[in-house]
Structure 1
Amino acid sequence: MSSPAYPYEENIYTLYSNANCPFAQRALRAFYIAQVPHKVIEIDLTNKPDWYHLVNPQLKVPALRTPSGTILIESLVLSEFAADQFPDSHLLPSDATERAQLRLFVEIFSSRIIPNIFGSLRGTNAKEIEEKKAALLAGLKEVNGELVKQWERIGGDGALWLGDKVSLAEVNTVSFYNLLVAVEHHRGFAVPDTDEFAALHRWAAAFTKLPAYTEFKVDDDQAINKMKKFVPEAN
């Protein structure tokens, strides 16, 4: 390993990450599926290395150093980079319309689910908590509807976004779906086992069996404990 200023691996990609970070897991899963030759350097988010600002001035993970020395940041950027740089991974469809539909799904999940997971936990009174939980449930219902529409478009029996092939639709969302267990534990939230969420449950049952999911999944107890810091009563 060569490092005049910060550590990196010569001639391959260096991914600066944290195994417990749901954003970093996007890049980890994309690189895993695309079989990108890379080295992971784990960043302790509670005690970041003095040199890390040279990699990412925002001090966030993930970050990537390419073999040419270019630094890239932001999880969605890195997962799309893996898809673009290694097209044989088929993380993105080849058709432009299908790519747009997949990106819309990720955007809906990112804007309707992720903020309300954290919002439900951060709520400081019963009214605020219930509003965020209701918004989270509404977002999950919207995600369910998008899955139904996608499966009608593509046909077949597969239960992933692209049917039987894992894609950025899963890579960019599943680490946050995993965090619902913390909202259930800390806020009593649960996704109803009803027809209006049937597609969501079917999708989750499919992606949770993927090696790309299990390889990087934070176990439930760890997720519950990790997310406790966002709950005001726990501070």
Structure 2
Amino acid sequence: MTRQPVPRLRSALLALACACAAAGVQAAPEGQDLVAQLLIERGVLEKRHTSGSNAVAIDSAASIGRQVRDTTSGLVVSAMNFLGVPYKRGGDNSDDGFDCSGFTRHIYESTLGLVLPRRVDDQAKATGFSPVKKDELQPGDLVFFNTLRRTFSHVGIYIGEGKFIHAPRTGGEVRVESMGVKYWAKRFTGARRADSAASLATATPAATPATVAEPAPAIPNDVP
């Protein structure tokens, strides 16, 4: 059964973004503890310690909130709203489910009104995108992995704090994972960022869903 989106998290992220924008960056926005807790519960942040006031997690929540202020990072808020939606090969909507490229395509189209190519490798080569170094990733960037012995065979959306959100595999659900986990770290093959909304609008036309590349069928059980 398809899980419902998580509007509570979306609202909290938007509230945090607005609070950060209004407060200027240094001060901790009121209600930030709740946002940090939500991000921890959803796997966006790791709880780095159990004592004290969760200061590290709260600082990380504020960092994500500041980044969410720009248009491209709004993709992250939209993507988080589909946590728990089941994986489906060839899927491109929350009612039926998503595969990896169907998920990224849906988020870009529903958030910015821009249509990405349907295939993973075509998304990596789409007009209007530029390569991004791993240490320069920003929320909203597309991140690619080699999971089927092809350079670009899996894709997700970077959300900040070294994590990405994606539709993983058959039997899985849209989830957040760490790029630092060995499985993903050794399979990372690059990232792409939209040059601008105007140039992205001219991206390569969609291919047929039947040719969508899929991720590896198995992921270690210890992946967070």
Q: TM-score, normalised by structure 2?
A: 0.31
Structure number with the higher helix fraction is: 1
Structure number with the higher strand fraction is: 2
Q: Which has the larger radius of gyration?
A: 1
Q: TM-score, normalised by structure 1?
A: 0.30
